[in-house]
């Protein structure tokens, strides 16, 4: 007997990206797995997209095996909080929960394939497939990696999508919040879905750490799961080339650093040493991007992480010692690489830096597994 699954989709202000959002929502509503519940959360949109979503839903036939819920929020509460609200209102019969971004187009059979792998072992908490770039040419994530100084990213990021067919299932530090499937009982044993303290970023890899430290694992499965625009839901200008950096708004950049550093401060072991290892790359990024926001994000991230340590680690001894896979890095080499890239490529340095690091770690990860 197939187990019921709830899919959560959070809608933001798509603005000029509505055709992409519409395409992705149509794809999500066309997933072939049953029984299925889809919860769409409108996260305070003000651009008329809610009315457009309602128009789409009027054309969808619902029955006992396929139900849709639409939740409207009064303002944008951020990715984590919006998902938490939907998670609270999920059908209690749902054994699995899937997160799919409103700018991710899932393959119709992907949900069933991921669940079949998830059911192979009770120890597997979450799975994902390969999430590709919008044009389908490159991998964006095949699971996520974490380094010993808090850098996070997508395994095999920016490799050619044709390599997916030669991959094997691998254990990963976290699964991509853009499209992944998790076992509800494992999430509950790890303390729940997301922490509500991150407006954006930080949510999926923070969850990955908790799940690993509770004794479960996360796995990337070699199927093409989705194409992800990666920017439509946050109003970034996504370039036609993955090698060109998208424009990052001030609030987007701020939360990137704040959430990343907060998670490092919360779970780093020892966190002071890991913060010291991260500091040189933070300063280098601030110099390369000529942005005080990077430094402000670092400072506020440390403050938030320290506050969360007081709240969350006091009575939870199981969460203190690392179990998640962590890659060891040479920070000085990374800083030198970033500065060399800046001298040669200017503003593109940060993007190229991430591509090189992600590819390097991805190849090592895949080789080890």
Predicted confidence band of residue 244 (pLDDT cuts 50, 70, 90): low
Contact 262, 47 (CB under 8 A): no
Length of the chain: 369
Check pLDDT > 70 for residue 30.
Answer: yes
Contact 157, 362 (CB under 8 A): yes
Average pLDDT score over residue span 137-160 = 89
How many CA atoms are closer than 13 Å to the CA of 151, on its beta-carbon side? 26
Angle at CA 140, nearest 5°, toward 137 and 141? 135
Between 89-103, 145-159, 187-201, 208-222, the lowest mean confidence (pLDDT) is in 145-159
Contact 42, 49 (CB under 8 A): yes
Neighbouring-strand partners of residue 7 = 38, 98
> What does the pLDDT read at residue 59?
87
Topology (CATH) of 1-102? Spore Coat Polysaccharide Biosynthesis Protein SpsA; Chain A (3.90.550)
Domain limits, the chain: 1-102, 106-232+240-369
For the question of whether the overall pTM of this predicted structure is more than 0.85, the answer is yes
Predicted confidence band of residue 185 (pLDDT cuts 50, 70, 90): very high
Average pLDDT score over residue span 215-235 = 84
Taking the CA atoms of residue 349, residue 356, residue 177 and residue 208 in that order, the dihedral angle to the nearest 10 degrees is: -120
pLDDT tens per residue across span 341-369 = 877 877 777 778 777 877 777 777 666 65
Taking the CA atoms of residue 229, residue 232, residue 237 and residue 242 in that order, the dihedral angle to the nearest 10 degrees is: -10
> What does the pLDDT read at residue 213?
95
Cβ neighbour number for residue 365 with a 10 Å cutoff: 21
Average pLDDT score over residue span 293-300 = 94
> What does the pLDDT read at residue 335?
79
> What does the pLDDT read at residue 68?
94
Check pLDDT > 60 for residue 243.
Answer: no
Check pLDDT > 50 for residue 27.
Answer: yes
Contact 73, 85 (CB under 8 A): yes
User: HEC profile for the chain?
Assistant: CCCCEEEEEEECCCHHHHHHHHHHHHHHHCCCCCCEEEEEEEECCCCCHHHHHHHHHCCCCCECCEEEEEEEECCCCCHHHHHHHHHHCCCCCCCEEEEECCCEEECCCHHHHHHHHHCCCCCEEEEEEEEEECCCCEEEECCEEEECCCCEEECCCCCEHHHHHHCCCEECCECCCCEEEEEHHHHHHCCCCCCCCCCCCCHHHHHHHHHHHCCCEEEEEEEEEEEECCCCCCCCECCCCCCCCCECCHHHHHHHHHHHHHHHHHHCCCHHHHHHHHHHHHHHHHHHHCCHHHHHHHHHHHHHHHHHHHHHCCCCHHHCCCCCCCECCCHHHHHHHHHHHHHHHHHHHHHHHHHHHHHHHHHHHHHHC
> What does the pLDDT read at residue 192?
93
Cβ neighbour number for residue 277 with a 10 Å cutoff: 21
104-106 and 124-133: which strand pairing? Answer: unpaired
> What does the pLDDT read at residue 239?
46
The whole-chain average pLDDT of the chain stands at 87
CA dist., res. 176 & res. 154, Å (int)? 8
> What does the pLDDT read at residue 240?
45
pLDDT tens per residue across span 314-331 = 777 788 888 999 888 787
Which carries the bigger pLDDT value, residue 239 or residue 366?
Answer: 366
Average pLDDT score over residue span 280-307 = 89
* Most confident segment among 13-22, 131-140, 360-369: 131-140
pLDDT tens per residue across span 256-288 = 899 999 999 999 988 999 999 889 888 888 887
CA dist., res. 345 & res. 241, Å (int)? 16
Check pLDDT > 80 for residue 65.
Answer: yes
66-73 and 170-171: which strand pairing? Answer: unpaired
Predicted confidence band of residue 15 (pLDDT cuts 50, 70, 90): low
């Amino acid at each position: 007997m197939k187990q019921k699954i709830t899919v959560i989709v959070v809608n933001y202000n798509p603005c000029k990206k509505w055709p992409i959002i519409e395409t992705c929502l149509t794809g999500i509503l066309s997933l072939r797995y049953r029984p299925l519940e889809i919860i769409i959360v409108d996260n305070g949109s003000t651009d008329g997209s809610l009315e457009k979503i309602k128009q789409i839903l009027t054309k969808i036939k619902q029955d006992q095996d396929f139900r849709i819920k639409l939740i409207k929020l009064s303002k944008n509460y951020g990715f984590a909080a919006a998902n938490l609200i939907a998670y609270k209102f999920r059908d209690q019969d749902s054994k699995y929960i899937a997160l799919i971004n409103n700018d991710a187009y899932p393959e119709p059979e992907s949900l069933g394939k991921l669940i079949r792998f998830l059911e192979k072992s009770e120890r597997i908490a979450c799975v994902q497939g390969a999430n590709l770039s919008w044009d389908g040419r490159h991998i964006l994530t095949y699971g996520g990696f974490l380094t010993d100084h808090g850098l996070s990213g997508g395994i095999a990021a920016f490799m050619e999508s044709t390599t997916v067919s030669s991959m094997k299932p691998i254990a990963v530090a976290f699964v991509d919040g853009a499209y992944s499937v998790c076992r509800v009982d494992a999430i509950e044993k790890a303390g729940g879905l997301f922490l509500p303290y991150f407006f954006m970023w930080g949510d999926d890899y923070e969850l990955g750490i908790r799940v690993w430290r509770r004794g479960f694992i996360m796995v990337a499965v070699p199927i093409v799961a989705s194409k992800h625009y990666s920017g439509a839901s946050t109003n970034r200008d996504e370039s036609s080339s993955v090698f060109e950096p998208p424009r990052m708004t001030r609030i987007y950049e701020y939360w990137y650093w704040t959430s990343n550093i907060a998670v490092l401060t919360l779970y780093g072991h020892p966190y002071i040493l890991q913060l010291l290892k991260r500091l040189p790359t933070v300063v280098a990024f601030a110099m390369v991007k000529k942005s005080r926001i990077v430094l402000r994000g670092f400072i506020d991230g440390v403050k938030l992480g320290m506050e969360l340590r007081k709240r969350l680690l006091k009575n939870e001894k199981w969460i203190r010692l690392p179990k998640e896979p962590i890659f060891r890095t040479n920070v000085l080499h990374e800083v030198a690489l970033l500065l060399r890239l800046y001298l040669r490529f200017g503003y593109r340095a940060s993007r190229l830096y991430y591509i090189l690091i992600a590819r390097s770690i991805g190849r090592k990860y895949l080789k080890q597994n």
